[in-house]
């Protein structure tokens, strides 16, 4: 971009020089046409220089606005998935199932307390001397609806699968499964949407640059996502300037 700006500025200066040369050396009858053409060229180059600076500013403003809306949905999806896993022991790759769970699912409220009970076997081994052992007793205190806990009076969970900005009618990709770690099958999930979907109507060159971002204060890669299908991770891939990603 800087290279283009320098070229454009050089061209403007050269054109202004040509205008002065025309004024000094070209016969009077040819001057009006040439001067109009050269001033039109200056105006065009000036506009192009201005837009080369202003286009990235507008793009970044619109990108940030759209990313913020997408991230809100991704956070809702993650919260719903974590609740689903807490109850079912795994994640789901089906939005209909996830929405139904939010509407009907319940958290179990439990209370753990320490207690001592007679250890029958140890008592027998010690010839009848009463021996006690420590145990943990889990009491079920009640149940809390998932919907009330996560969304209170909002119904936004019903549309959390829809990409809220960008290309109309698009939905987030949702994957779920297991990965093996230390001989254990650990549940994982990933929800994502391509940047091209979010920014589909923006400047094409800007989108290509955005897909190649590698930065601590940018969204790396070609998609916004939360979770991972290759590692145990439920974080989002956006920087904290957009809000918490954990």
Q: Kindly give the confidence (pLDDT) of every residue in the chain, 246 residues in length, as a single tens digit, with 9 standing for 90 and above.
A: 555 455 555 655 666 665 565 556 555 665 566 656 656 766 666 656 656 666 788 899 999 999 999 999 999 999 999 999 999 999 999 999 999 999 998 876 656 667 777 777 877 877 777 777 877 666 656 677 889 889 988 999 999 999 999 999 999 999 999 999 888 899 999 999 999 999 999 999 899 999 998 888 889 999 999 999 999 999 999 998 887 777
Last residue of a domain, one of 37, 56, 75: 56
Domain extent, residue 195, equals: 60-104+151-242
137 and 118 in contact (C-beta within 8 Å)? no
Whether 85 is in a domain gets the answer yes
Q: Do 7 and 97 fall within a single domain?
A: no
Q: Do 65 and 44 fall within a single domain?
A: no
Whether 114 is in a domain gets the answer no
Q: Do 99 and 17 fall within a single domain?
A: no
Whether 21 is in a domain gets the answer yes
Q: Do 92 and 169 fall within a single domain?
A: yes
Q: Do 49 and 73 fall within a single domain?
A: no
Question: In total, how many domains does the chain have?
Answer: 2
Whether 217 is in a domain gets the answer yes
Structural Rg of the chain based on CA atoms: 32
Q: Do 51 and 25 fall within a single domain?
A: yes
β-strands 106-118, 132-145: how paired? antiparallel
Residue closest to 114 by CA, chosen among 93, 139, 95: 139
Q: Do 170 and 189 fall within a single domain?
A: yes
Whether 146 is in a domain gets the answer no
Q: Do 66 and 39 fall within a single domain?
A: no
Whether 23 is in a domain gets the answer yes
Q: Do 66 and 47 fall within a single domain?
A: no
Whether 37 is in a domain gets the answer yes
Contacts of 108-112 spanning 24+ positions with Cβ under 8 A: 108/140, 108/143, 109/140, 109/141, 109/142, 109/143, 109/144, 110/138, 110/139, 110/140, 110/141, 111/138, 111/139, 111/141, 112/136, 112/137, 112/138, 112/139
Half-sphere exposure in the Cβ direction for 175 (13 Å, CA): 14
Taking the whole predicted model, whether its pTM rises above 0.85 is answered as no
Whether 129 is in a domain gets the answer no
Strand partners, 110: 140
CA–CA dist 195, 187 (Å, integer): 26
Q: Do 18 and 32 fall within a single domain?
A: yes
Q: Do 89 and 164 fall within a single domain?
A: yes
Q: Do 9 and 99 fall within a single domain?
A: no
CA–CA dist 69, 118 (Å, integer): 58
In this structure, the dihedral spanned by the alpha carbons of residues 63, 69, 70 and 72, taken in order and rounded to 10 degrees, is 140
Q: For the chain, how many residues are written? A: 246
């Amino acid at each position: 971009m800087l290279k283009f700006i320098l070229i454009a500025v050089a061209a403007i200066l050269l054109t202004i020089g040509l205008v002065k040369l025309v004024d000094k050396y070209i016969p009077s009858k040819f001057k009006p046409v040439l001067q109009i053409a050269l001033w039109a060229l200056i105006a065009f180059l000036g506009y192009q220089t201005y837009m080369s600076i202003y286009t990235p500013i507008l793009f970044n403003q619109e990108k940030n606005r759209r990313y913020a809306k997408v991230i809100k949905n991704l956070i809702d999806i993650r919260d719903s998935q974590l609740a689903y896993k807490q109850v079912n022991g795994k994640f789901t790759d089906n939005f209909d199932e996830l929405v139904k769970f939010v509407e009907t699912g319940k958290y179990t409220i439990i209370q753990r307390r320490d207690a001592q009970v007679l250890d029958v076997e140890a008592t027998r081994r010690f010839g009848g001397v009463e021996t006690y052992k420590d145990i943990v007793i889990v009491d079920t205190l009640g149940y809390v609806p998932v919907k009330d806990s996560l969304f209170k009076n909002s119904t936004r969970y019903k549309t959390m699968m829809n990409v809220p900005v960008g290309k109309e009618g698009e939905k987030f990709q949702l994957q779920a499964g297991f990965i093996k770690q230390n001989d254990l099958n650990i549940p994982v999930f990933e929800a994502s949407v391509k940047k091209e979907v979010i920014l589909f109507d923006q400047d094409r060159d800007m989108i290509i640059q955005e897909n190649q971002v590698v930065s601590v204060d940018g969204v790396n890669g070609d998609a916004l996502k939360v979770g991972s299908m290759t590692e145990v991770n439920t974080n989002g891939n956006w920087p904290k300037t957009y809000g918490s990603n954990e």
